[in-house]
Amino acid sequence: MAYRVGVDIGGTFADFCALDEATGKVHTLKVLSTPAEPGREVMQGIGDLGRRFGIGADAIGYFTHGTTVGINAVIQRKGVKLYLFTTENFVDVLELARLKMPDPYHLMSHRPEPLVTRDRVVGIRERTLADGTIDLPLDDASLRDAVARAKAAGAEGIVLSFLHSYANPAHENLAKRRIAELAPGMPVFCSSEVWPIIREFERTSTAVVHGYVQPRVATYIASLQTSLKKAGVQAEPMITKSNGGVMTAELGKTQCIQMLLSGTAAGTMGAAFVARHAETPRVLALDVGGTSADVSVIVDGTPSYRSGEMVGEFPIYIPTVSVTSIGAGGGSIARVDSFGTLTVGPESAGSTPGPACYGRGGTNATLTDAFVVCGFMGHSDLGYSAVKVDRAKAEAAMAPLAKALGRSVESAAEAVIQVAVSGMYREVSKLAAHQGVDLREFKLLAFGGGGPMTACLLARELGMPGVLVPTTPGVLSALGGLVADVKNDFIKTVYGHLDAETLPSLQAGFDELAAEATSWLRDRQGHAGAATLIASADLRYRGQSFEIETPLELEWVKKGDLAAIAEGFHREHDRIYGHADREAAVDVVALRMVVVGPSAKPQMPRQDKRSGAPAPRAQVDVLLDGDRRKIPLYQRGDLVHGMTFAGPCVIFQDDTTTVVPDGFSGTVDAFGNLHLARGA
């Protein structure tokens, strides 16, 4: 019997999802994260799978893993000491960035200090022009001096980002070979290899983030591979990627930039999978974990993508699932500032010591503690019995806040919930405006340990029609890793007018990308099944400063149908901005190719249909909307296909708690998902 196992490590818990390939049955569990010892929670979880479900390590035939090692290294600034070599006179590329204020509504805001400070940026005499021709050969003397300076300062890696290396990487390749001679063993990262895009800051920033975390990520992955082998897992581990796909762990050692946002992307892919099964075409995925709430838009089972996502304080320009992170998770700490204002987050109690109610030494009041004090949690253990809830400790942690606010402990706890929901409301509203979506047409798909707790409260404020809660919302990110396809992105800059003169470059460029993509899938990933190539191009009207990624049919390119390519851009421009100028000339900036190797998808079992209402396990005393009252407490396993129920009520299960306020009615679909509809 073979199992597919997915693992996702969050700020508080590590989630495990094991799929029996023969029966389609899914087993899930959680263990506490061990940020001080990354990887230990994975070994503990594999052991628990054997002890609880009889899933031996040798029965695991497919293993996917999402890790936060890379992003945590950036956020905590615990990466390696880098030197950056640029073209001479372009050493301020990171300092200048895009000359934008980080927050236009905060006049005192300032850009963060770069990961490579100005004293560790060295200019090299060389010059490549925009068309790829060499204007000034690479000067060996200046390179030797720069390497000597880096070695003397104790550099642990060198990033090469020369002007126009996207058009011709010859100088970066030559410098890399020369550094290997001058400083054997020194890690060298070429921007043209990391992500060869036009625009110097974007390419340099992406390469620097990659170099900053690569040694740490490679060490972690190597340790994971060794530990899995020792545990008896023979399958080559797969790593979830920021673009919603997966790749081999071995490749992840050198392409770590592709996996920095793997956890948030995996959650979105899991949400997309559920949305398709639940036949819900428009959902706003809400993943509330221990540290943050992550929100993404999914239409017709497909999430939105973009470049320029933030990793901590720094942008990376690889294609990623578009996710907005809000600093409000279950472990977010509530405080009263010097002005007497209640705030929640972004600081989190994490898993160590965790919320006060976990009884692990935490003394600060968190959002989870607030739900405990208000009576919604504490009726069962949390995280598959990993945590026993201590209400007395939650109340003790809330008491100083209550005193500072001049409220009762319960009233202060409800205020914490309201402030957290208010922060989510603000950020989700901004996301909806940015992406041009009408939230009245979307359901909120709630997952993560804290998503179902807050979802109905947030949907009510946003005017959304309802909430969808999966069967195992607390481990949906782990499921997302299991259903993700093998996937990779490729890009080639082809700067010119969209006309007959440029057409041969377009055709040759797409042929090159297709060959590279196919080789990556077959040779580097060992994928022997079907493959899909998805083409697009970055296009813009002549004179515009920025371009739009436009989906293309490869047949248009092969036939040289420039009119069809241009019309595709006009349609995309009209979709995004509400207008198009079909008489205007169009320029092409870059060609893109995505290769997808489909993975096996679980067949979610359908439930037999029953009628009537579920029987509550108890009546619990809660504070809801300012009123103290008793409401029904349901066990999630008692809610089966065809049953209906009404709020207010609380639903508990091994991996989360769902809070259903007044005005919501619930039904259960054939797959066991909860559909919570908001009344008029």
Residues 15 and 94 in one domain: no
Residues 337 and 394 in one domain: yes
Of residues 1 and 387, the one with the higher pLDDT is 387
Q: Check residue 657 and give its pLDDT.
A: 94
- Rounded to a whole number of angstroms, the CA Rg of the chain reads 26
Instruction: Choose from 95-104, 408-417, 603-612 the range with maximum mean pLDDT.
Output: 408-417
Q: Check residue 11 and give its pLDDT.
A: 65
Q: Tell me the pLDDT band of 193, cut-offs 50, 70 and 90.
A: very high
Helices (H) and strands (E) in the chain, counts: 17, 35
- Give the closest residue to 67 by CA, choosing from 11, 118, 121, 115: 11
Q: Check residue 446 and give its pLDDT.
A: 96
pLDDT in tens, 256-312: 899 988 878 899 999 999 999 999 999 999 999 888 888 999 999 999 888 888 887
Residues 247 and 358 in one domain: no
Q: How far is CA 591 from CA 307, 495, 563, 576, in A?
A: 14, 9, 17, 20
Residues 108 and 188 in one domain: yes
Report if residue 186 sits inside a domain.
yes
Q: Tell me the pLDDT band of 19, cut-offs 50, 70 and 90.
A: confident
Report if residue 282 sits inside a domain.
no
Q: How far is CA 420 from CA 69, 413, 661, in A?
A: 27, 11, 16
Q: Write out the two tokens for 200.
A: 């110097």
Residues 580 and 667 in one domain: no
Residue with tokens 């000339």: 585
Q: Check residue 311 and give its pLDDT.
A: 81
Report if residue 241 sits inside a domain.
yes
* 573-581 CB contacts, 8 Å cutoff, 24+ apart: 573/541, 573/548, 576/436, 576/548, 581/541
Contacts of 76 (CB under 8 A, 6+ apart): none
Q: How far apart are CA 43 and CA 228, in angstroms?
A: 8
Q: Is the pLDDT of residue 596 over 90?
A: yes
Q: Write out the two tokens for 424.
A: 């989510």
Pick the range with the lowest mean pLDDT from 10-14, 109-113, 486-490: 10-14
Residue with tokens 């997915």: 6
Contact 285, 439 (CB under 8 A): no
HEC per residue, 598-648: CCCCCCCCCCCCCCCCCCCCEEEEEEECCEEEEEEEEEHHHCCCCCEEECC
Q: Check residue 551 and give its pLDDT.
A: 95
Domain boundary among 369, 395, 419: 419
Q: Tell me the pLDDT band of 31, cut-offs 50, 70 and 90.
A: confident
Q: Check residue 528 and give its pLDDT.
A: 83
Q: How far apart are CA 451 and CA 268, in angstroms?
A: 13
Report if residue 538 sits inside a domain.
yes
Q: How far apart are CA 318 and CA 222, in angstroms?
A: 24
3-state helix, strand, coil in the chain (%, to 5): 35, 30, 35
Q: How far apart are CA 455 and CA 47, in angstroms?
A: 33
- Give the closest residue to 470 by CA, choosing from 664, 645, 286: 286
Q: Check residue 1 and give its pLDDT.
A: 55
Q: Check residue 88 and give its pLDDT.
A: 96
Q: How far apart are CA 648 and CA 623, in angstroms?
A: 11
Contact 26, 472 (CB under 8 A): yes
Percent of the chain residues topping a pLDDT of 90: 66
Q: Check residue 247 and give its pLDDT.
A: 93
Q: How far is CA 541 from CA 93, 209, 587, in A?
A: 27, 31, 6
pLDDT in tens, 448-482: 889 999 999 999 999 999 999 999 898 898 999 98
Q: Tell me the pLDDT band of 383, cut-offs 50, 70 and 90.
A: low
**Max Cα-Cα span within the chain:** 82
Pick the range with the lowest mean pLDDT from 343-357, 574-588, 663-677: 343-357
Measured from the Cβ of residue 248, the count of other Cβ atoms closer than 10 Å reads 18
pLDDT in tens, 217-259: 999 899 889 889 988 998 989 999 999 999 999 999 999 899 9
CATH number reported for the structural domain that contains residue 526 in this entry? 3.30.1490
Q: How far is CA 82 from CA 59, 86, 156, 174, 359, in A?
A: 42, 13, 6, 19, 41
- Give the closest residue to 71 by CA, choosing from 240, 233, 275: 240
Report if residue 474 sits inside a domain.
no
Report if residue 284 sits inside a domain.
no
Residues 35 and 90 in one domain: no
Q: Tell me the pLDDT band of 517, cut-offs 50, 70 and 90.
A: very high
Q: How far is CA 302 from CA 266, 275, 280, 483, in A?
A: 13, 9, 11, 13
Q: Tell me the pLDDT band of 102, cut-offs 50, 70 and 90.
A: confident
Contact 474, 447 (CB under 8 A): yes
Task: Give the number of domains in the chain.
Answer: 5
Q: Tell me the pLDDT band of 162, cut-offs 50, 70 and 90.
A: very high
Q: How far apart are CA 240 and CA 259, in angstroms?
A: 6
State residue 477 phi and psi, 5-degree precision: -65, -35
HEC per residue, 324-348: EEECCCCCEEEEECCCCCEEEEEEE
Domain boundary among 419, 448, 473: 419
Bridge partners (DSSP) of residue 592 are 491, 536
Residues 66 and 83 in one domain: no
Contact 651, 657 (CB under 8 A): yes
Indicate the pTM of the whole model. Answer: 0.88
Q: Write out the two tokens for 641.
A: 């296909």
Residues 255 and 354 in one domain: no
Q: Write out the two tokens for 461.
A: 């404020």
Helix (H) or strand (E) holding 565, with range, is helix 562-577
Q: Write out the two tokens for 504.
A: 């041969």
- Give the closest residue to 84 by CA, choosing from 229, 203, 196, 199: 203
pLDDT in tens, 194-211: 999 999 999 999 999 999
Q: Check residue 625 and give its pLDDT.
A: 92
Instruction: Choose from 94-98, 529-533, 567-571 the range with maximum mean pLDDT.
Output: 567-571
Q: How far apart are CA 113 and CA 90, in angstroms?
A: 18
Residues 207 and 247 in one domain: no
| Burial zone of 616 (CB within 10 Å; 0-12 exposed, 13-18 middle, 19+ buried) | middle
Contact 124, 138 (CB under 8 A): yes
The 3-state DSSP class for residue 225 equals: helix
Residues 85 and 174 in one domain: yes
Q: Is the pLDDT of residue 212 over 70?
A: yes
pLDDT in tens, 431-450: 888 888 899 999 999 998 89
Residue 356 CA, distance from chain mean position: 28
Q: How many residues does the chain have?
A: 680
Amino acid letter at 465?
A: P
Q: How far is CA 483 from CA 17, 264, 265, 609, in A?
A: 11, 14, 12, 26
Q: Average pLDDT in the 97-111 region?
A: 76
Of residues 583 and 601, the one with the higher pLDDT is 583
Q: Is the pLDDT of residue 169 over 90?
A: yes
Residue with tokens 């009233």: 411
Contact 59, 1 (CB under 8 A): yes
Report if residue 435 sits inside a domain.
no
Residues 208 and 227 in one domain: no
Residues 65 and 83 in one domain: no
The 3-state DSSP class for residue 377 equals: coil
Q: How far apart are CA 214 and CA 654, in angstroms?
A: 36
Contacts of 577 (CB under 8 A, 6+ apart): none
pLDDT in tens, 312-350: 788 899 999 988 888 788 888 999 988 889 999 888 887
Domain boundary among 216, 233, 251: 216
Q: Average pLDDT in the 65-87 region?
A: 88
Domain that holds residue 655: 618-678
The 3-state DSSP class for residue 173 equals: helix
Report if residue 299 sits inside a domain.
no
Q: Tell me the pLDDT band of 366, cut-offs 50, 70 and 90.
A: very high
pLDDT in tens, 128-149: 999 999 999 999 999 999 999 9
